[in-house]
Amino acid sequence: MKAIQLSSISTRAPKSLNKEKTKAKTAAILAELDELQNLLYAESKHSVLIVIQGMDASGKDGAIRNVFGKLNPQGVRVHSFKAPSTLEQSHDFLWRVHSVAPPKGMIQIFNRSHYEDVLITRVHRLCTDEVAKKRMKAINDFEQLLMQHNNTHILKFYLHVSPEEQQKRLQERIHLPNKQWKYNERDFEEAKLWSQYMKMYEDVFRTCNQPPWTITPSDQNWYKEYIIASQLRDKLVDLKMQYPGLKK
């Protein structure tokens, strides 16, 4: 597999793509997803894990709200991974992750994920490269376990935002009343570590690539949402699910 270099990948939609037409396509896909999710829940043979990673202000919350917000909440769960608690730190790093893996019939979304333990920990030197390699092997084994033993289909998205767009969005958290609740002074300090984060992300893409990552240009929310929605729709269609008949 060719190594991914984020600096060579655009953070914007192709210029040939029409915004309004693409938004219309996304709306049609979301209508399809409503039925497909109902089918996933009813058949209850498969589950879906959506992993969403990205730098601060890359649009993780917005993507989750706009792509999954209209689906039946009985069949969709979201888990946001914060700094581990004292109890979680007393276990192996995947302990808190496995407990929220999706059961059959469900779509589970990770807003940040188990990958934080080989990203922010390495950037801040809380984890050595040697430990990180062991953790990435454990992550690969964990994802294979879910796929092979629970029919879990994993879609991994890196929301690829530019430093300029990130700064614009962070500034909005200072000035816009409806976004001030998101303001965190530490986000500006983390942004200064951009190059270190890119290096660690590229290592993750190289080492943990089965299933592969989708590098999702995210400077324009309408394009980001189209990519996520269309990939999920295609995956569910490929499952060729059927409604179960009457229970005997």
Amino acid at 225: E
- Mapped onto helix, strand or coil, the DSSP state of residue 154 is strand
Give the pLDDT of residue 165.
97
Q: Each residue of 202-234: pLDDT tens digit?
A: 999 999 999 999 999 999 999 999 999 999 999
In whole angstroms, give the CA distance from residue 127 to residue 89.
13
Q: Each residue of 59-71: pLDDT tens digit?
A: 999 999 999 998 9
Q: Are 122 and 132 in contact (CB under 8 A)?
A: yes
- List all residues 6 or more positions away from 10 whose beta carbon is below 8 Å from its beta carbon: 217
48 pairs with which residues across the strands?
Answer: 107, 153
Spell out the domains of the chain, with CATH numbers in brackets: 19-238 (3.40.50.300)
Q: Each residue of 140-194: pLDDT tens digit?
A: 999 999 999 999 999 999 999 999 999 999 999 999 899 999 999 889 999 999 9
- Mapped onto helix, strand or coil, the DSSP state of residue 147 is helix
Q: What is the pTM of this model?
A: 0.96
Q: Are 108 and 49 in contact (CB under 8 A)?
A: yes
